[in-house]
Amino acid sequence: MKISERLIQATKTYLARNNYIDLWRQMQWEVNVVKSNQVNAFCMPGGKIIVYTGMANLVGLGKGADDELAAVIGHEIGHAIARHANERIS
């Protein structure tokens, strides 16, 4: 299973256990990779996450790379759950 799929499933489990299932239902999770040298990732409202290839290349393919990429995607999931993008838009 992909890193993003495991993180999204873990997020669902956490939200369900803590009575935030309505928040879960509002999300339409999607993780996309954009070809760019930028070392960045961001989240849009509703759970749309973008990771640039520059970020993926930074974490590389070596030992611990999956953990590093999981940290980046997990960080963006946190922004989605906290609705930070919605705050910035308003």
The CA distance from 16 to 25, in Å, is 10
Give residue 63's pLDDT band: very low, low, confident or very high (50, 70, 90): low
User: According to the model, what pLDDT value does residue 62 have?
Assistant: 60
Give residue 87's pLDDT band: very low, low, confident or very high (50, 70, 90): low
> Which residues make beta-bridge pairs with 49?
31, 43
Residue 38 one-letter amino acid: Q
Q: pLDDT digits over 15-57, tens only?
A: 999 999 999 999 999 999 999 999 999 999 899 999 999 988 8
Average pLDDT across the chain, whole number: 88
Whole-prediction pTM: 0.86
- Residue 76 bears catalytic tag: yes
Q: What are the structural domain ranges in the chain?
A: 3-89
Given the residues 30, 68, 76, 87, the one annotated as active site: 76
CATH topology of domain 3-89: Zincin-like (3.30.2010)
Residue 69 one-letter amino acid: L
The CA distance from 7 to 69, in Å, is 11
User: According to the model, what pLDDT value does residue 49 have?
Assistant: 95
